[in-house]
Amino acid sequence: MKTKAVLDESQIPTHWYNIVADFPVPPPPPLHPGTHEPLTPDDLIAIFPMGLIAQEASSERWIEIPEPVREIYKLWRPSPLYRARRLEAALGTPARIYYKYEGVSPVGSHKLNSAVPQAYFNLLDGRKRLTTETGAGQWGAALALACQFFGLKCDVWQVQGSFDSKPYRRMQMETYGATVVGSPSELTESGRALRERFPGTAGSLGMAISEAIEAAAGDPEASYSLGSVLNHVTLHQSVIGQELVLQLKEFGEEMPDALYACAGGGSNLAGIAFPILRENLEGRANTRVVACEPKAAPSLTEGEYKYDFGDTAHLTPLLKMYSLGPDFVPAAVHAGGLRYHGMSPLVSHAYDQGLIEAISIKQREAFAAGVTFSRAEGIIPASESNHAIAGALREARKAIETGESPVIVIGVSGSGQLDLPAYADFLAGTMADS
């Protein structure tokens, strides 16, 4: 019985897919924070290279993947699609469950799909150094490696709480040659101001973004690099969903009935779901796309859809998105990179237009699902991915009652090898139910 579809590396997509070309209603543009006018490319040139600015504003449906990027994608892509036969048996469900596993990337998550082109377009633009933020560390590790591949310097501001509790991630970034500091730090004006305003804070992604932007804006050879939220990031991640469409055919399946993906800033969800949404919009599929977010950072399910800042110090453009506000500091739940106050404008627009659904999951349910998955399939999923698995398990268990056999796809965005302390917390029964 077929367990996984791997595809040959020659089947890595040649183009990224841009959903902006297919939305029935165009998404609201980003605004300049001073003038509240739509942003122009010039407004971004201090912190982004031209190649990425062009992608950010593009409404072309297909954007070619440069050959040097595709060559590096070959180190781990195509990522495998698995039929979760052992999980189905463990649950006793008639559902047919598949999962697309991005943990095969050398850094252990989907983040490398965007880190590599971001480093590449910065190199083309003559930049020598990238600054970025990271929460759990998946994005920081990805950018550290991508910078190493292209000979760029990489400086990472890591949310202080993660910096202290996840030393392995820092070691991983340093092994790839990056420098890592806890945020808020003494190295930037915004960091110093945040330390004064919130003494002893464990930090937040919004704070770390402020610091990384400030550092890039003050260095003409540097760019800022963001691991989620923005249009060009969701664009790069579209390789995931494009491969999924091919791989389902290898199993003899049509489009899935439901697709579950975790959502923090939105890059993983967009990457696996937008190519499927295109199938929906063109009438070739009728897939329910379900964004799974942590109950402790519920931007889609409990946030407000409005123009808001992406960072705490208000250095970013204004983005129309579901947001909990840039001062939001999430509870100390094990949700990794999902602990962000906002949501990708394109994912937000899709949700606002009724093209996707959203649910929120408490961490105990997420980790119970992760342990069930680990023991059946072997792979220990990332904290983030457990939210998608938990959502899918709800539907798979419901199918036991209804007797239906839906085809369910789960986006497993990464490996949980470096999230093991969270699993230990869950298994010890000491995890808060938040």
Contacting positions for a second copy (CB under 8 A): 1-4, 6, 8-9, 71, 74-76, 82, 86, 104-108, 112, 145, 148-149, 167-168, 171-172, 174-177, 371, 374-375, 377-380, 415, 417-418, 420-421, 423-424, 427
Of 20, 26, 18, nearest to 62 by C-alpha is 18
User: Is omega for the bond preceding 13 within 30 degrees of 0, making it cis?
Assistant: no
Taking the complex as a whole, the smallest distance from the CB of residue 106 to a second copy amounts, in Å, to 3
- What are residue 308's phi and psi, to 5 degrees? -150, 165
User: CA-to-CA distance for 112 and 138, rounded, in angstroms?
Assistant: 9
Name residue 342's beta-bridge partners: none
- Rounded to a whole number of angstroms, the minimum distance from the CB of residue 399 to a second copy is 23
Which ranges in 299-344 belong to alpha helices (H)?
A: 299-302
Q: Spell out where 18-78 has E strands.
A: 62-64
**Least spacing, CB of residue 7 vs a second copy, in Å:** 8
Kindly tell me which of 276 and 393 has the beta carbon lying closer to a second copy: 393
Closest listed residue to residue 15, CA positions, set 82, 67, 54, 50 = 67
Q: Which residue, 61 or 86, has its beta carbon nearer to a second copy?
A: 86
Residue 50 vs 424, nearer CB to a second copy? 424
Q: What is the dihedral of CA 270, 406, 370, 415, to 10 degrees?
A: -40
CB of 362 to a second copy, least distance (A): 19
Q: How far apart are CA 174 and CA 133, in angstroms?
A: 15
Instruction: Return the number of other C-beta atoms located less than 10 Å from residue 432's C-beta.
Output: 13
Closer residue to a second copy, CB minimum distance, 109 or 188: 109
> What would the two tokens of residue 260 be?
């579950």
Between 171 and 245, whose beta carbon lies closer to a second copy?
171
Identity of the residue, 74 or 306, whose beta carbon is nearer to a second copy in the bound complex: 74
Q: Cβ of residue 70: shortest distance to a second copy, in angstroms? A: 10
| Alpha-carbon span 12 to 7, nearest angstrom | 8
Q: Distances in Å between the alpha carbon of 428 and those of 256, 370, 421?
A: 36, 15, 10
Q: How far is the CB of 251 from a second copy (least distance, A)?
A: 12
Residues 6 or more apart whose CB falls under 8 angstroms from that of 76 comprise: 104, 105, 106, 112
The C-alpha atoms of residue 237 and residue 297 are separated, in whole angstroms, by: 22
Q: How far is the CB of 199 from a second copy (least distance, A)?
A: 29
State the minimum distance, in angstroms, from the CB of residue 293 to a second copy: 24
Q: What's the closest the beta carbon of residue 416 comes to a second copy, in angstroms?
A: 9
Instruction: Report the residue number, 50 or 427, with the smaller CB distance to a second copy.
Output: 427
How many angstroms from the chain centroid is the CA of residue 297? 14
Is 38 or 421 the residue whose CB approaches a second copy more closely? 421
Cis-peptide into 381, omega within 30 deg = no
Residue whose C-alpha is closest to residue 282's, from 232, 355, 345, 349? 355
Question: Which residue, 280 or 374, is less far from a second copy as judged by CB?
Answer: 374
